[in-house]
Structure 1
Amino acid sequence: MARKSRKNLPQPEQATVSVQFPELDEEKIPTAIYGRLSVEDDEDNESMETQIALVQDFINRSSELNYVDTYFDNGFTGTNFKRPAFTRLMNDVRQKKIKCIVVKDLSRFGRNYLEAGYYIETVFPFLGVRLIAVTDHFDSTRKEDMESLALPIRNMVNTMYAKDISKKVWTSLQRKKEAGYAVGSDAPFGYIRNPVTKRNEIDPETAFYVQLIFQWVLMGVAIFEIARRLTLLKVPTPREWHRKIVEGKEVVTYKKWGETSVRHMLANQTYVGDTINNKSTQKFFAGQDKRDLSKEQWYVAKNTHPAIIARDDFEKVQDILAKNQKVFKTVRAETEQIRTEYQNDLAGMVFCADCGRPMDFDRLPHGAEENKKICYYICRARQADDKCIGHQITEKLLKALVMDQLHLFIVRLSDKRKVLEELRKIEDMQNPVYRAKSEIMSLTDKVGQMAKKREQLYADYVAGVVDSEDYQLIREDYSKQYDGLRAALQRAEAKKVEVEQQIREYLNMTSNLEEHLDDFGFDAQLVKSLVQRIEVSADKRIRIVFGFQDVFADLGKESAGK
């Protein structure tokens, strides 16, 4: 008996099934009906209504099952379990909404022997779910059913059946492809598919735009400009047109055309009247995704339907596209070479001092003479902001100015380091470590004095010199002072450790930086380690914001002034 497609059958929410379900009884097992139809199923024996009615009748006659919901996958193969209704069913199972699943037979549950066995023998027992197959007389709660050889044999038969059906479907499709029938589900933009002859027929409304697109290319219009024009003309995109013709939905908003859609249309040989098949392949049995095939494996049947584009015009367009692609690849290769040779060493660091905008890095122009191959940092604010006139500076000049400022900065750091090394040898308040130690000694002495005061207060209280009320007030005041001094002492000790650490880091860093004083070439690593931001004004003046925190700048100034 002929196999029929299930793609146009309504889903369970849309189907009208004349069955009556009993009211929910909380003492019974919450039960779900699961059914499935695929493209291989026979319509007379495996209709959705037939499956649901048979299973529902079984549930109605059962004294321990209580119907909850129906889950039906329409048009999905049984060789894999990535089905929307089955996924929804398993989510409800994990949420304890379903405790029993009833199917017409095990083939409706799945035709993959390994996966079906895994669910039946491992997943469902773990989740505490019961599975019943009505016509196979299978119940997972019966030990004899689970241990019987009939179950794996039946699952294996289902697997082999699916494999056999997949082979038959594949063979049938191959014959149709070789005969030049359009076996795809949809006609390309510009055509409509005749449901009887399975041939493409011209759609006057959209074929006009297909001709217009090809004509624009022949006139030399760029593809991005074609996409822009189609968007301005509010031409429905191929996806929107599909929704209107196939899904019966109105086009409410007109989407923006993309260059990719235009390119696909320009490369589609269907527009010259040819039917192209076997562009991809897929194994139904294994549940594999589609795999694209090379052009040598395509089936091309010429003049199977009316042409929208003349064959010679189509070939001219292909030559134009091939030439443009060649030019694009050449330019891209040159651009990559230029990017590699002329890298932006100050990326993300250069800003306009007048408007604050990042300055763009422009590499040398293509084909420029060797002496004109110069890179610039350019402020393009003139195009968007009247407050800034826009300006540029050559990369070479900017790098020289930056390195000059870095050398001056390193010299200043070196001078401060020498001052700091001398200060470390002197026990003077200008020495930050000595100052920290002195503060610690002072606070330690104050803490000791306060401790003695507290002891003396207690002695006076015991001797009766201080009454109870005064003792409480004074003791509370002394305690607050003592706690404050202890906290200050801890902060001072932490500050001393921090100062000593900063001094070590400062001396180590400035000592390493002195190695660069004799090197006047551009050092990208040095710049990135010290510089946070470079600001360039229209008169070529620069301001450098250093990321290095000179914690002893004030100390250096004071020492240098004395």
Structure 2
Amino acid sequence: GYTNIVHYTDDGWSGGNFDRPAWKRLVADIEAGKVAHLLCKDLSRIGRNYLQTGFYTEVMFRQNGVHFVAVANNIDSEEQDSGEFAPFLNIMNEWYLRDQSKKVSAAYRVKGKAGKPTTNNAIYGYKKDPEDKDHWLVDEEAAAVVRRIFRLAVEGHGPHEIAKILTQEKVECPAYYLARNGRGSRKNTVDTSRPYDWYGFTVSSMLTKPEYMGHTVNFRSSKKSYRDKRVKNDPSDWLIFENTHEAIVDPETWQLAQQVKRTVRRTDTTGVANPLTGLVFCADCGAKMYNHRGKHTRADGKEYRNDTYNCSTYCLTIERETQMCFSHSVSTKALNALILETIRTTASYAIQNREEFIQKVRSISQVRQQEAAKELKRKVAKERRRSAELDVLIKKLYETYAMGKLEEKRFELLCAEYEKEQAELEQLLASEQAQLNQFHEDTDRASHFLALAQKYTDFTELTAPMIHEFVEKILVHAPDRSTGERVQEIEIYLNFIGKFEVPMPEPTEEELAAEEKRRQKRIRDHEKYLRQKERKQKIAEGLIVPGEPYQLVCQCCGESFQSIRPNAKFCKPACREKFYRQEKRKAKETEASQTA
């Protein structure tokens, strides 16, 4: 009998796979000279790949002096005649594996095409229905975590940031949670010493799963042969069956999370990500706007924060010393105030004037689509003409080559160029034709916006979720100073409805007077700024000593006078009274002439 026996068992592993843990340990022991005799039930226990099985039984075992016995097949390596049919047995073992693989794959595809889940385990957030294994039920404890992940994503948090938050709050990670409840593919192998370890790729994978909208997704992966490893399929090859189980996340939130996830958001020194990232663009060159934040110190030692947007092309051209665009600087505070006002007025108008709003959006959408479709049709017609020209050119090229008037090398070069251009044109035509088809689809954008507006009926401040749900893009124009004031146009495009102009009533006399008052104040503030700037320049040049009175000119008598206040207008009280009496008399004369 044999002594010093060791058992090598790979339970649950396929015989077509030689990367089995116990098998690898056995091979290592054989190479180390620890194995003298090897006994197995039959050749299929070694493996079901006839080439590799033959290598081990015919070559490796012999080279390492291992006595091999396959009991059921009557094979003994010390008896030469016993292994004559071993190659045929190995082929039959592999054929059996191939046949079983075909049957399983066929059943798998039938089940998948019928809309039943092809996965053995329900994903995190769901559990299998005890009464129907092909139906999923919501696992409320895990579903609450899933909803929170999507909520954080919509607020602008990235996958790694969300993972960090969940780890800090000691929320059980999916693998540990499922294993604790006796579910999941890793229930026997999960690391129980690290129950709260969340990773960015885990969160990112969860955010892209349509299953959380209540859909069944089959054929995410496949393998061409039973010998190959599974590979991920392109999303276009997935088979999606909608509304097969209860949704954890509504489609609008899921789509919004995908939109936010596509834009990389970097946190600043305070650890806060900018919610406007990827939404603000230069109206002239189309480039993204850079956000500049920082602290600055005044001459008096006081600090103030600067938070502005400017054209990225302009900022980069300063470094390159080449002028490619112009400054489009706008403060983030003013931008946020304008976004808030736009959302508030548009949402309020849409809710209060529902039918009028729907008609207005539809008419604007039709005009936009007609203009875009007209331009696209012209472009498609031009590209089709060029494609037809290429067909003629390629045909003539073949004829010239066949007649011996063109060298083979030159023919191949020209032909490759024409065929490449034609392939690019065909791809472009397919894309543009798809866009044209979309124009003919009637989408009720107004209803979507109304549903969104009703979610936010009362708000006073702008939040990250509001920005992501409402704002499609923002175009910032260069400031216009032709009137003496800095006027800047900013276009805000809202999701579903684009740029929408809310009908505004004619301003009242009180509103006009208030606006004029604000304008006059802006002028005075600007004049004060210019005076202060001029004084600072003179101090820097040594023309004025700090602390000395200002040298000014009286607006009434025109004489020079000194004052400690830079905005003083009159040299004495008598001049001030005289000036305002004259202004009052002029106003009365103007009013009398207008009445007459």
Normalized against structure 1, the TM-score is what? 0.45
